A and B are shown apart, each in its own frame.
Chain A
């Protein structure tokens, strides 16, 4: 039981870091290698504001979200749209966006290091919370709750609003969406910006229980990439399920087998799922 809850909590953390990239890659077709740096930016903001004014990271998250939305929208509009326009096919765009976001990631790390080169660590809600007789960290539980909220909000928006339907249409096919009158460039920009905002929010939440520093973004980028591919590109349910599976597997292995094999087991599951279902859990078979 303990394993289940701990695993879910960890899965929630993973879901947080994957939501944003899912939108950015699934809809805007940008393989954003600077995703991890967005997480770290959120963490840096939370750390800074908490240390300076003892303001709760939850509040910081609400402040940071619109800023990140706007910032990411600008990035898409000025840095990424030219690449989208000149790409002759999907493969070309992927290559270009990989290179460009890689450069962005470096630039962001450089900026953050000059702001604060050491570890961002502070204590927020690092208290025990009991569920069914087992103790868990309150900060992780709070983060999980927000992950659920954000995930639910996204899901509702995607499946129950017109705008969300348009976004899902774009993730299925950009050409066909254009044909039915959807403003693909505008929606892609919104999706990218929204993805960035969600990612940064995830970063502020994660910073409450994980010690980060300016250079650790790449680890999160890789984890996020693995989750969205495992879940199948473009489908938010896939990202959620994949994140939870990973969280549960890692925790189960840590408790029942050997903590040294957690990451190896997680990647093994990833590899196996792809070998048996090459398009990911919820992905569409390539036509």
Chain B
């Protein structure tokens, strides 16, 4: 490990410790915003771990997230299993699913992969509804725990720490090196002897695992789980968009997209509630036109300009 590496780890630890202190200063309102930010940060960053380097845009996040939430709901409500056991089971199920879906990355590319993941997520959603209707036949999935927003937030910060550590480690490893080459030119990567199949599947599985873990951890917040709610395709789109806005070039890119976007969304919802959808759409368009490389890209451009001007 070089001294640059050590510096990054220290920085990361400091920021995460700060994040963990947020509950000490935030009231209920800011806590719920912080929780939303934490959730999307984890989802976007783990998404970007795969989709950033490979440029394969996955819209399957909702499928894994939904599996996590749904299994927790059905396990607790129908089978009276306790919460933490269900979190483990749900994450494992999500991982297996992600592995299977990851195998699909070996066949498909480009926009075909994108829409494939979308169709898959929808298929899982309707399948789960059908299973619920015909087999578990549950009377609504109630997740009644004593976990409050602060607890869930801290869980998510822990997962975020894990994701950042994993990302940091991957970037330094042969896997990260392989992913960068794959992203630039997959044919070259294969010719150079990189096991592209293994790399892609492993990373995709990891991001799916994280998504299902998040789904399981967030379930107590909603109290009542409906399949059509937790498998919402909107979630997949928002995760992608936040990551793209922030910039997927760096590990800390997505969070730079999540925070301003979440705050902007909150500002619009609070002040223009009756027109929030319209204003949000316009805000989006403004962002796309003035921040083509995402927030990160713009920051880096300006940083580069600043450097140039000091010569």
Contact = CB atoms under 8 A, between A and B. Distances in A.
Chain A–chain B contact at Cβ < 8 A: yes
Interface of A: 25, 31, 33, 79, 82-83, 86, 91, 94-96, 98-100, 102-111, 113-114, 218, 222, 225-226, 229, 233, 258, 260-261, 263-264, 267-268, 270-271, 274-275, 278-280, 283, 286
Given A110-B275, A222-B233, A96 B108 contact: no
B115 A229 contact: yes
A225 B121 CA distance: 14
Question: Would you call the interface of chain B mostly helix, strand, loop, or mixed?
Answer: helix
A162 to B, nearest CB: 29
Interface string B208-241: 0000000000000000000000000110010011
Contacts of B282: 103, 107
Interface stretch (B32-40, B157-165, B171-179, B284-292): B284-292
B121 to A, nearest CB: 9
A200 to B, nearest CB: 19
A79 B285 contact: yes
A128 B307 CA distance: 74
Given A107-B281, A270-B119, A102 B241 contact: yes
B285 A103 contact: yes
Contacts of A279: 112
Given A95-B244, A106-B281, A264-B127, A233 B111 contact: yes
Contacts of A233: 111
Given A264-B123, A264-B126, A267-B126, 13 more contacts: A99-B284, A100-B288, A103-B287, A104-B281, A106-B280, A107-B282, A107-B285, A113-B277, A218-B234, A271-B116, A278-B107, A278-B112, A283-B112
Contacts of B233: 218, 222
A264 B227 CA distance: 14
A267 B130 CA distance: 14
B80 to A, nearest CB: 26
7 contacts: A96-B288, A96-B292, A106-B284, A107-B285, A110-B275, A222-B233, A260-B129
B279 interface: yes
Contacts of A275: 104, 107-108
B296 interface: no
Interface in B265-311: 274-285, 287-289, 292
B86 to A, nearest CB: 24
A264 B288 contact: no
Most A-side CB within 10 Å, residue of B130, B241, B244, B277: B277
B120 interface: yes
A79 B284 CA distance: 12
Given A226-B115, A261-B130, A110 B234 contact: no
B195 interface: no
Contacts of B112: 229, 274, 278-280, 283
A267 B120 contact: yes
